[in-house]
Amino acid sequence: MQKLRSPEDLMAHITNMDSENSISHVIIPGKGKFTIMLQEEEGKSVATEILANTELKQMIDESREEIKQGLGMSTSELLESLSPENFK
């Protein structure tokens, strides 16, 4: 367990954490013992995923075009079109 004596020490400690070193126990004098857990960053946004995957971009573009042409179906319309017989 490492003693951290300043905010700078704390920030340096956190900066050095990574996926291999994701849980740390520290002591901050005058405050007590702390467990610091590094969690993954938020998942990629849809826009980021589209930029990284040309096939996904093409699929989304095609879907948008079909919706403009009236060929798409909303979630509500899909649910209304289903019956218990569809799941037998």
**What pLDDT does 46 receive?**
76
pLDDT digits (tens, 9 = 90+) for 14-48: 989 888 888 999 988 888 889 998 877 666 677 88
Is the domain of 32 the same as that of 50?
Answer: no
Within-domain flag for 59: yes
Within-domain flag for 88: no
Asked whether 36 and 13 are in contact (CB, 8 A), the reply is: yes
Whether 85 has a pLDDT exceeding 80, the answer reads no
Could you tell me the residue range of the domain that residue 12 belongs to? 2-37
**What pLDDT does 25 receive?**
92
pTM higher than 0.95 for the full model?
Answer: no
Domains of the chain: total: 2
Neighbour count for residue 4 (Cβ, 10 Å): 20
Q: Residue 31 in 3-state DSSP?
A: coil
